Structure 1
Amino acid sequence: VLYIKMTVLTTAFFCGYKLGRPWHADFQFNWARMPAAIRRAIANKTRQSPGDRKDMVKAVVDQMLEHEPNPTRAICHSVVRSIIRSHPECFADVAKNGDVLGDGCYSLLQQIKTRVEYKNRNNTLGRRRRERRPRSEVPDEGRAMQRGPVDQYGCVRWGPLEIPPGETEASLDGIKHHLLDIYSKEGMSGAERADPLMEKTYIIQRRYLNSVPPPAIAVLKEEWPFLFSPRGFFSHFTLLTDIPILTKFREALDRKGNTIMRFCQEVKCHQRVKSVLTCFEHEDSDKAACILLLVMAYFKEPKDAIVLEVDTCATATDIKSTITLTSTPRLIVQG
């Protein structure tokens, strides 16, 4: 028996089968399943467009998930490294002078790992990360809520499963109807009174937001109107990420705002940046708004992608009748 086992092992070795070797070590992509644009880029040894690269990442991850439901970062790195070694001119990270940055894998690795995280968001059985701590208090609120594992996007309560103590599905639905009643009577002025009720119903809010297909913004506003109040939005984000976004944003402006301003003032050949700085007055202008516009101008983003300017005296009805509102959120600035 021992002789037979040794013979089998020896034969397997010389035939090229390396027993116990992980699947990703010799993983071969089926490039025929890649988008045509990627195949052309490989054939011509050229870089691909961001859209084509995104499609390529999706195709790579789909093939990886056929072998393992939730590949670790180390596995992703191994797979990406094999791609970079085979086609460095197409996919490697390179500097302006053409030198490869590090091992050339960082940006593609980030994209692939992010895609893996996205595909496994609702896959609790394939989850690898453990909770960092059993319970976490929501900052500035003093109320405890179960914290989940941190995903690639920084969410710690993406899809909570535990109903708040003392509540049932029926009672949560009742609270939701009560919130709608508050909104019908008080409008957004009832946001402060609705805040503790919004926290109680967080689990069914996430369930609704994570549904497939996702709800349209207009429908979401009808179902959960207080999510569109500043207080409700900031509270929901804090529960989702454990980050008090308003506080952090102000701290970031204090720490980095002046650096951004100085950098933009030194940019000599960027006309849009110059235009924003020309309108900025240190005493009277809103520094936060100026920094936001500078960042958008520097990266050549259209201003109306985030900000819609309206008349100083315009009401909500005036805005709806005079401009076309998009389906995605915007900041409406009066003046």
Structure 2
Amino acid sequence: MNREEIEEAISTHLPGLSVQTLTSLLEVLEELGVESRADLVLVQENDLVKCLRPIQCRKLLNGLKNEPLAGRPWYIDFRVRWDRMTASIRKALSNQARPSPGDRKYMVRAVVDQMFEHDLNPTRAICHSIAWSIVRDYPKCFADVGKKGDIVGDGSHSLLQQIKARVEYKNRKNTLARHRREKRPRTAVVEGGRLMARGPVDQYGCVRWSPTELPSGETMESLYEIKKQLSNIYSEKGMGGAETAEALMEKTYVIQRQYLNSVPAPTVAEIQEEWPFLFSQRTDVAFLDKMQEAINNKGSTIIRFCQELSRHPSIEEILAKYEPETSDKAVCVLLLLMAYFKEPKTSIMLETD
């Protein structure tokens, strides 16, 4: 029996133990056949009642079980401290019920805070390992479940997304700790003889969060002059000048980001006043194509969902006129969504001068 190693392990978790009690405990462990520190995890509470009080037994055994083994990554032995969660979360776990959205958010925050004790920026793989272990222990509380009650995938995708998003939120101002991945652009733009590709992206999807490199041949003064030109274009043409302003908006991206990232953050009204063309449709995503694709993929699901609703006259009226073979599904889906969210039909068209 490695007496010194075992004594050190006991003293770590029960530092106030008297010499007499410690000696008795070591004798009991030797009788049980404990030879090394690793054997301590096999000891049960009933084995120690002769020399330790119940709370001391539990403190020692819980501490030993939660100790990471040498050479193993910390997340392999990571255990959520459920005893520190709110009473409503503990009740949901004991009843094998799904916690409320608010409780789930609290749980995610608590789990991430506990993870940060080991790693200030755990990778997605680490987050997945922890999310999956939570789902494995409490599938009825946290697993992703399909309509028929079957577990979707490994059941941890939505919890993983929440945990990873929380990690990135906590690291939003910590550029040294934040991991970012390079994303290959679908398209590249040649500007001034250089190939401009997308920069690092994070969970929030921003392709260049805080750029520092100015466009070729430009200075900060010249960029602010271009900003004045943009203001003049908007004053003369309104949003009708968005196409003309597009190239100028690309050039002034650096000072746009500086303004948006400033502290305190500007309000939406202030942004709209300073950079009105940010509110025009300027994106590398084919919005209309994506919209049509989404309607084709999800439209039938939306229609079926609305067909199951009761006591909704507006939806019933729309469905009564819908003929699957001849009617336009896209129009039907849009009208159903507007009726469901109680939007007036007139708001589907925006009139501008």
TM-score normalised by length of structure 1:
0.68
2:166 matches 1:115? yes
Q: Which of 76, 82, 95 matches 1:31? A: 82
2:232 matches 1:190? no
C-alpha distance 172-36 of structure 1, shift in aligned 2 (>3 A)? farther
The superposition leaves residues 182-226 of structure 1 with CA deviations (integer Å, 9 ceiling, x where unpaired) of 222332232222111111112222333344554322111111112
* 1:264 corresponds to: 303
2:80 matches 1:41? no
- Give the Cα separation in 2 of the matches to 1:248 and 1:91: 31
Tell whether the 8 Å contact from 1:293 to 1:303 is kept in structure 2 after alignment: no
Tell whether the 8 Å contact from 1:182 to 1:194 is kept in structure 2 after alignment: yes
C-alpha distance 196-152 of structure 1, shift in aligned 2 (>3 A)? same
Q: Which runs of 5+ in 2 are unaligned?
A: 9-34, 41-63
Q: Which runs of 5+ in 1 are unaligned?
A: 311-330
Tell whether the 8 Å contact from 1:137 to 1:144 is kept in structure 2 after alignment: yes
- Give the Cα separation in 1 of the matches to 2:323 and 2:149: 41
Matched to 1:23, the amino acid is W
2:111 matches 1:60? yes
Matched to 2:316, the amino acid is K
2:201 matches 1:150? yes
- Provide the secondary structure at the position in 1 that maps to 2:200: coil
What aligned pairs does 1:100-111 form with structure 2 within 5 A after superposition?
100-111=151-162
* 2:318 corresponds to: 276
RMSD: 4.0
Query: How far apart are 1:144 and its partner, in Å?
Result: 4.6
Matched to 1:164, the amino acid is P
Q: Max radius of gyration: which structure?
A: 2
Matched to 2:303, the amino acid is C
C-alpha distance 97-279 of structure 1, shift in aligned 2 (>3 A)? closer
Tell whether the 8 Å contact from 1:135 to 1:147 is kept in structure 2 after alignment: no
- Give the Cα separation in 2 of the matches to 1:90 and 1:98: 13
Q: Which of 164, 177, 183 matches 2:215? A: 164
- Give the Cα separation in 2 of the matches to 1:116 and 1:280: 46
- Give the Cα separation in 1 of the matches to 2:257 and 2:148: 47
Percent same amino acid at aligned positions? 55
* 1:223 corresponds to: 274
Q: Which of 255, 275, 290 matches 1:204? A: 255
- Give the Cα separation in 1 of the matches to 2:345 and 2:106: 32
